[in-house]
Amino acid sequence: MLPDKCSIKEHGKPCVNPPEFIVSVIVKNDEYMVGVTCEKHKKIVSGKIQSLQQEEKIPLGKIGFSRLKAVGTDCIHADQDEFVEIDIKNLKD
């Protein structure tokens, strides 16, 4: 299972944003998943990975971000439909 929140902590508080990217380190033909991040924290995550690589805690390799596909697409669509309905009602009023 993937974490449902961004892996970054800012000022000791965990980021509440949903993860938007899977962060991985690509070494030759292997890809190591190291965490997930939101759009806002991509740069911080790459910085952290680079320092971890310097400490040899994770393998040296290219840092990759792959966009997460929306989980539970059906739910998201249902929500969007509801919002549309609300908007229409408001317009009528």
Residue with tokens 């991509």: 42
Tell me: does residue 23 bind Zn ion (CB under 5 A): no
Contact (Cβ atoms closer than 8 angstroms) between residue 44 and residue 6: no
Tell me: does residue 38 bind Zn ion (CB under 5 A): yes
d(CA 8, CA 17): 9
Quote the Cα angle for 85-91-93, to 5°. 110
Tell me: does residue 46 bind Zn ion (CB under 5 A): no
**Residue among 24, 25, 36, 41 that touches Zn ion (CB under 5 A):** 41
For Zn ion, the closer CB: 43 or 92: 43
Tell me: does residue 48 bind Zn ion (CB under 5 A): no
**Binding stretches for Zn ion (CB under 5 A):** 6, 8, 15, 17, 38, 41
